[in-house]
Structure 1
């Protein structure tokens, strides 16, 4: 593979707000492959989470160390107009976007079926499914058919086993991944390859120490949680020309993680 296989291409990556996050790892790796980056972030979401918000100037500074060019936009993807505005801003910055990677997700506002609130279902649908579908729609509308058209969605392994107390989240992600073959077939006709990644359990600052995880050695045969760059390497392959024969697939990168 060339040292800069994405040189001359532009990638839009959502959910890039924390240096420990998957979105940052994906953007930094793609930038290191020569891609110009347009990234989104939503600091208010992180401020409401136990792990807190990161310094956005440091996040963007880290990306600029790797990428030839970086532009960014704060965006609340629960807003139905935000996906179109994000794509329009990326096109205004670069003229064209070659690839879209949707890493963003909503955290919190969830629970077991017995406590399920209709507002939780709506909130997760808006961010985890609807915004990704609309981002994909508007990305595809601006794509002119040139080589390298790619879209990568993110699942969460919701189809592989239970995720206790995350009914709203798994419902939204399940709906998104259920639409994958249909949307991938439509995009393939336009020269855009859509695939999805399940990153498995990734340590982005919210997982317990392995000493506090009963059965850790059985669940994680490689002796560690996933790292953000584990998922980023798979995304990089899909976005590069090496992934040119992949379409409509939901790929897991879990290091042999065993459920149950």
Structure 2
């Protein structure tokens, strides 16, 4: 059993990833920021199904709080599977975007990536086994109106992951990005109606969180040991 940490684990995609990793036999730390009750409920659900999980709360933009939380959960064993799923969007057309809209989105996705990933990397190197998987977005590949901040943050994660993969490849640690398209979650249900999805997606449907989780589960497995430095989009043929 390996220890896994899923940031933003209480949301739609995050919860599906937590369930998949627990199903695969890992102990899953389910991270939340303000919704610790949802993370605790998910952890309880996983345990009742025979899996192993615990909830943890911290703000990924707070380096000190993040370090303290990570120290606590790695006191006995390292995190060997990290899924960076925490992220927010605060959409506005660029000429009207406020500085705080830009900064907050960058802080959570990009600075949060550093605050969580950097302390966990050396222990993975020492054990010569690790999986770092970051959940991005198709917006980082194609761009999207009203999401210059979000696209910038996610696109930077693509570059960071490719560079990090080169540094740790010889140590048995893989680093990859999963970039979903339109996924059927609470975040997207008001953004795209059925007609829009039919026009935009060749498969004529939104993806399911479980389909994203299946890809993450594979990348976290021993079978994916030769896959690193990749951005894999799961989007129903949109690009």
- Which of 130, 134, 147 does residue 149 from structure 1 map onto? 130
How big is each residue's C-alpha offset from its partner over 1:68-107, in whole Å with a ceiling of 9 and x where there is no partner?
A: 3212211111212243233212203x42211111111023
Query: Which whole-Å CA distance do the structure 2 matches of 1:83 and 1:189 have between them?
Result: 27
- Which of 13, 18, 29 does residue 6 from structure 2 map onto? 13
Q: Which runs of 5+ in 2 are unaligned?
A: none
Partner of residue 86, structure 2: 104
Q: Do the aligned partners of 1:155 and 1:199 also contact (CA within 8 Å) in 2?
A: yes
Partner of residue 162, structure 1: 143
Q: Do the aligned partners of 1:210 and 1:216 also contact (CA within 8 Å) in 2?
A: no
Give the 3-state SS of the residue equivalent to 1:63 in structure 2. Answer: helix
Give the 3-state SS of the residue equivalent to 1:84 in structure 2. Answer: helix
Partner of residue 94, structure 2: 113
Residues 1-260 of structure 1 aligned to structure 2 (within 5 Å): 8-18=1-11, 21-43=12-34, 55-66=38-49, 68-92=51-75, 94-108=76-90, 110-146=91-127, 148-208=129-189, 212-257=193-238
User: Scaled by the length of structure 1, what TM-score is found?
Assistant: 0.83
Query: Which whole-Å CA distance do the structure 1 matches of 2:191 and 2:135 have between them?
Result: 25
Query: Which whole-Å CA distance do the structure 2 matches of 1:208 and 1:192 have between them?
Result: 36
CA separation of 1:13 and 1:204: change in aligned 2, threshold 3 A: same
User: Scaled by the length of structure 2, what TM-score is found?
Assistant: 0.90
CA separation of 1:180 and 1:167: change in aligned 2, threshold 3 A: same
Q: Which runs of 5+ in 1 are unaligned?
A: 1-7, 45-52
How big is each residue's C-alpha offset from its partner over 1:222-243, in whole Å with a ceiling of 9 and x where there is no partner?
A: 3321111111001011100110
The range that moved more, 217-226 or 24-33, is 217-226
Number of residues of Structure 1 aligned to a counterpart in Structure 2: 239
Query: Which whole-Å CA distance do the structure 2 matches of 1:55 and 1:81 have between them?
Result: 24
Deviation of residue 56 (structure 1)?
4.1
Query: Which whole-Å CA distance do the structure 1 matches of 2:216 and 2:152 have between them?
Result: 23
More helix by share: 2
CA RMSD of superposed structures (Å): 2.3
